[in-house]
Structure 1
Amino acid sequence: MLIGLMATGKSTVGRRIASRHGWRFVDTDAAIVDRHGPIPAIFAEVGEPGFRRLEAGIVSEVLTAAEPGTVISLGGGAVLNEGTRRLLGSAFVVFLDADLLTVLPRLSGDTGRPLLAQDPGETWARLEQERRPLYEALADTVIDTRNASEEAVADRLEIRLRNHILTEDKDQRP
């Protein structure tokens, strides 16, 4: 389970890890778009509270149906929902951490993120400050993505996954 603020690489790194292992990859933002249409249109129609309700339903469906070997990328605000946070308790949760300098080039010209429509850099920094405590509290591990290529982040995640699997296997032995 990959969590973190928008533009930290959750979808890209998640796809890469899933591809390396032949695992299933689910991007909950993409699932929302598939079912309900473009996220900016949803925000325009029902506002952020309405979007968060739709998001919580999709995330619940995805998490409930997920099998071992599924990599799931959550939207940056999905952790705001208490039910989603409870569901994360059964997953290995990875917080992809970044700073504004790392994500700012990814945000310029991006029209698919309604929360960043006004002053993307300032808004991202504010959201990061507000949400960081949730991400840190939910994470089993944190991967710093600052100044790292997608490949390097995927490699770091690979090491953390291997360590998690080895630890989990050792804990389950008699």
Structure 2
Amino acid sequence: MLHSPPVIPAWTGRPIVLVGLMGVGKSTVGRRLANRLKLPFVDADHEIEDAAGMTIADIFDRFGEAYFRDGERRVIARLIDGKPKVIATGGGAFINDQTRALILADALSIWLDAPVDVLVDRVRRRDTRPLLRGRDAGAVLRDLAAKRTPFYSLAHLRVASADAPHENTVRAILEAIGR
């Protein structure tokens, strides 16, 4: 069952976790946000690949999505350690009930949201996304948006990531968290 997240008036120094669909810019925006806040940046997908010793695509191919999501949950739980940092998650991380509960309780979650047509344009630049291989990116992203938006909407903050420089998104986040 989905519940409304707690209201967080301002960033209090806990980890900042970026959530949203693939292609929304979580990693790029996360790096820039961390730089502006002078905090460490961690990309959960890179941490998963390092821990597994293989790419996410290889994990999906060899073990399946459920196995990947379990590892993703464990990695994010390790990353949310109470220390200030910016964490970019994979697009499906916030859908997991345990991961979402942890993020909502112990971090500041920010949903980066963009129109599907913008996302389609961005994801076409990389062909390594397992959920898109051999499929129509627009159809997949429209389906994922329909399924995941109710979960993403539970994030503490929502920031638009339009077809504009990522620095605009960083500025919007900084304004939203009162920095």
Aligned residues: 160
1:54–1:91: structure 2 CA closer, same or farther, 3 Å change rule?
same
Find the counterpart in structure 2 of residue 84 from structure 1. 99
What CA deviation, in whole Å up to 9, does each residue of 1:90-143 have, x standing for no partner?
A: 211110001111111211152221001111111011001100000002x11111
Distance between the aligned counterparts of 1:47 and 1:66, measured in 2?
A: 31
Letter aligned with residue 176 of structure 2: R
Q: Trace 1:128-139 onto structure 2 (pairs within 5 A).
A: 128-137=145-154, 139=155
Give the 3-state SS of the residue equivalent to 2:163 in structure 1: coil
Tell which structure's C-alpha radius of gyration is larger: 1
Q: Trace 1:1-174 onto structure 2 (pairs within 5 A).
A: 1-36=17-52, 37-63=54-80, 65-68=81-84, 70-88=85-103, 89-117=105-133, 118-137=135-154, 139-162=155-178
Distance apart, 1:49 and its partner CA: 0.8
Structure-2-length-normalised TM-score: 0.85
Moved segments of 4+, more than 3 Å: none
Distance apart, 1:66 and its partner CA: 4.2
Percent of residue pairs bearing the same amino acid type: 36
Structure-1-length-normalised TM-score: 0.87
What CA deviation, in whole Å up to 9, does each residue of 1:52-90 have, x standing for no partner?
A: 111111111111x2402x111111100122111111122
Aligned Cα RMSD in Å? 1.3
Give 5+ residue unaligned stretches, structure 2: 1-16
